[in-house]
């Protein structure tokens, strides 16, 4: 199988690293030279909306998938007529706009924070009255890693946040007092078969995913089944093929969906070393029409992201059981440059993660 991936970042790299042993070959459409996927397949070096480049990219591929959600709709439209494309671009469209995304959740019975689309200061003031403060004002599109958002705690923050974020479509969300953040990673094959990884607990630092551990502590079968039901609802609504991640808030009143990613996801990187079959391999199996692999986990798994810089690799490897994954990216503040996985009994994972977090923070 020759697989095309829109995007050549670390997710594309890890897809290829898991697909090569299955006999797959890869082609990336990636505008930037020196990207993490370089060397793992052929590269069409062009913008994602370059029509001629898209045609060259699609030539001879068995299937196309993507590793980021902001692929322009015109590009997926162009590819759709030429090559098999998974997941369904309708899931991309939903993930690109926080209002469409939340309406989509509601349509399949998934609860979210209350929200209002915002396109004027008067609208924002009225929505702040209705939802109450605190509330979170976010851009509807192109927000990631906590960028393009403001928490409104006091009345005067309403006008201040408008000053900063006005000029683009916005959404105001009720502030969720969550106990913790979880994510569910799901995969659906071309034949409609679904599989789910155990709920993962995620901790963010400065708006960026910092650590994940799985299975999340104290998750009952009922909660796991609820999350799986939510994911299945989205998968089936989009006739989705591939891996889907949904980020959830765990609250006193149950799970609320925050957002979804129609692709492999950072909160599933632990599956590389902690699950029977990783999210990357399962995504490829799904989009290539192969049987899905087990999402089972023998013990506990944890992941620590390396953000902004890479500690000396010998120090990371000195932590018992550490499995190091570097992306070959030049370090820059706030940039994800790698991650480290550990696996084993809960206490061993907790201890190793503590050591890795200290190294990653440069303590
Ligand atoms: P997002 O870009 O939507 O993933 O938001 C980034 C982070 O901000 C989330 O992981 C949460 O920690 C926090 N956050 C987002 N939305 C809300 C909300 N409605 N209430 C409370 N915290 C939020």
Residue 242 and residue 264: Cα distance in Å, rounded? 8
Find the 258 Cα to ligand 1 centroid distance in Å: 7
Question: Residue 363: which pLDDT band, with cuts at 50, 70 and 90?
Answer: confident
Res. 146: pLDDT tops 90: no
- What is the best residue among 258, 259, 265 to mutate for testing ligand 1's pocket, by most ligand atoms within 8 Å of CB? 258
Is 207 in the same domain as 345?
yes
User: Which residues line ligand 1 at a C-beta cut-off of 6 Å?
Assistant: 113, 136, 143, 146, 173, 175-176, 181, 204, 207, 247, 258-259
Residue 97 lies in a domain: no
Residue 90 lies in a domain: no
Find the 151 Cα to ligand 1 centroid distance in Å: 9
Contacts of 142 (CB under 8 A, 6+ apart): 70, 148
- What is the best residue among 145, 146, 212 to mutate for testing ligand 1's pocket, by most ligand atoms within 8 Å of CB? 146
The answer to which of 80-84, 114-118, 219-223, 282-286 has the lowest mean pLDDT is: 80-84
Percent of residues, the chain, with pLDDT higher than 90: 96
Report pLDDT for 362.
86
Q: What is the span of the domain harbouring residue 54?
A: 2-85
Atom of ligand 1 nearest to the CA of 178: 21
End position of a domain, from candidates 174, 199, 226: 174
Going by DSSP bridges, is the β-strand pair 2-6/323-326 parallel, antiparallel, or unpaired?
A: unpaired
Q: What is the pLDDT of residues 201-222, one digit of tens each?
A: 999 998 899 999 999 999 999 9
Is 62 in the same domain as 148?
no
Averaged confidence pLDDT in the chain: 96
Residue 12 and residue 36: Cα distance in Å, rounded? 8
Is 64 in the same domain as 189?
no
- What is the best residue among 116, 128, 136 to mutate for testing ligand 1's pocket, by most ligand atoms within 8 Å of CB? 136
Is 199 in the same domain as 227?
yes
Is 220 in the same domain as 170?
no
Please tell me whether residue 66 adopts helix, strand or coil conformation: strand
Question: Residue 147: which pLDDT band, with cuts at 50, 70 and 90?
Answer: confident
Report pLDDT for 143.
75
Atom of ligand 1 nearest to the CA of 249: 11
Average pLDDT over residues 323-334: 96
Is 251 in the same domain as 357?
yes
CB 183 within 8 A of CB 245: yes
Residue 91 lies in a domain: no
Find the 135 Cα to ligand 1 centroid distance in Å: 10
Report pLDDT for 145.
65
Residue 69 lies in a domain: yes
End position of a domain, from candidates 174, 192, 220: 174
Average pLDDT over residues 271-297: 98
Report pLDDT for 254.
97
Which CATH number fits the domain that encloses residue 155? Answer: 3.30.1490.20
Average pLDDT over residues 75-102: 96
Contacts of 42 (CB under 8 A, 6+ apart): 26, 27, 28
Contacts of 163 (CB under 8 A, 6+ apart): none
For residue 317, the tally of other CB atoms under 10 A from its CB is: 12
Report pLDDT for 81.
85
Residue bearing tokens 């989705």:
240
Is 185 in the same domain as 256?
yes
Average pLDDT over residues 298-315: 97
CB 285 within 8 A of CB 293: yes
Is 45 in the same domain as 166?
no
Nearest residue by C-alpha to atom 6 in ligand 1: 146
141 secondary structure, DSSP code:
S
Which CATH number fits the domain that encloses residue 76? Answer: 3.40.50.20
Residue 126 lies in a domain: yes
Which CATH number fits the domain that encloses residue 352? Answer: 3.30.470.20
Is 239 in the same domain as 314?
yes
Q: What is the pLDDT of residues 40-82, one digit of tens each?
A: 999 999 999 999 999 999 999 999 999 998 999 999 999 998 9
Report pLDDT for 218.
96
Is 66 in the same domain as 151?
no
Is 236 in the same domain as 318?
yes
């Amino acid at each position: 199988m020759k697989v095309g991936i829109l995007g050549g970042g670390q997710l594309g790299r890890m897809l290829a690293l898991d697909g090569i042993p299955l006999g797959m070959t890869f082609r990336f459409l990636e505008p930037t030279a020196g990207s993490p996927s370089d060397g793992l397949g052929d590269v069409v070096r062009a913008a994602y909306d370059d029509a001629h480049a898209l045609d060259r990219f699609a030539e001879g591929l068995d299937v196309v998938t993507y590793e980021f959600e902001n692929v322009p709709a015109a590009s997926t439209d162009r590819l759709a007529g030429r090559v098999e494309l998974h997941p369904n671009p309708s899931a991309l469209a939903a993930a690109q706009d926080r209002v469409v995304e939340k309406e989509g959740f509601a349509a399949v019975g998934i609860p979210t924070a209350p929200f209002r689309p915002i396109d004027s200061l008067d609208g924002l003031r009225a929505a702040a009255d209705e939802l109450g403060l605190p509330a979170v004002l976010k851009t509807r599109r192109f927000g990631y890693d906590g960028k393009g958002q403001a928490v409104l705690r006091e009345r005067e923050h309403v006008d201040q946040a408008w000053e900063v974020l006005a000029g683009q479509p916005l959404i105001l969300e009720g502030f969720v007092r969550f106990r913790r953040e979880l994510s569910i990673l799901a995969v659906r094959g071309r034949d409609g078969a679904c599989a789910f990884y155990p709920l993962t607990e995620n901790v963010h630092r400065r708006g960026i995913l910092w650590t994940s551990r799985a299975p999340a502590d104290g998750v009952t079968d009922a909660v796991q089944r609820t999350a799986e039901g939510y994911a299945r609802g989205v998968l089936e609504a989009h006739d989705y093929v591939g891996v889907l991640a949904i980020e959830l808030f765990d609250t006193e009143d149950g799970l609320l969906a925050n957002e979804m990613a129609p692709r492999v996801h950072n909160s599933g990187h632990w599956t590389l070393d902690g699950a029977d079959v990783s999210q990357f391999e399962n995504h490829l199996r799904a989009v290539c029409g192969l049987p899905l692999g087990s999402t089972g986990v023998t013990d506990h798994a944890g992941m620590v992201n390396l953000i902004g810089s890479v500690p000396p690799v010998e120090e990371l490897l000195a932590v018992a059981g550490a499995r190091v994954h570097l992306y070959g990216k030049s370090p820059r503040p706030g940039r994800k440059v790698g991650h480290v996985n550990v696996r084993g009994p809960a206490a061993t994972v907790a201890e190793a993660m503590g050591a890795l977090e200290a190294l990653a923070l440069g303590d």
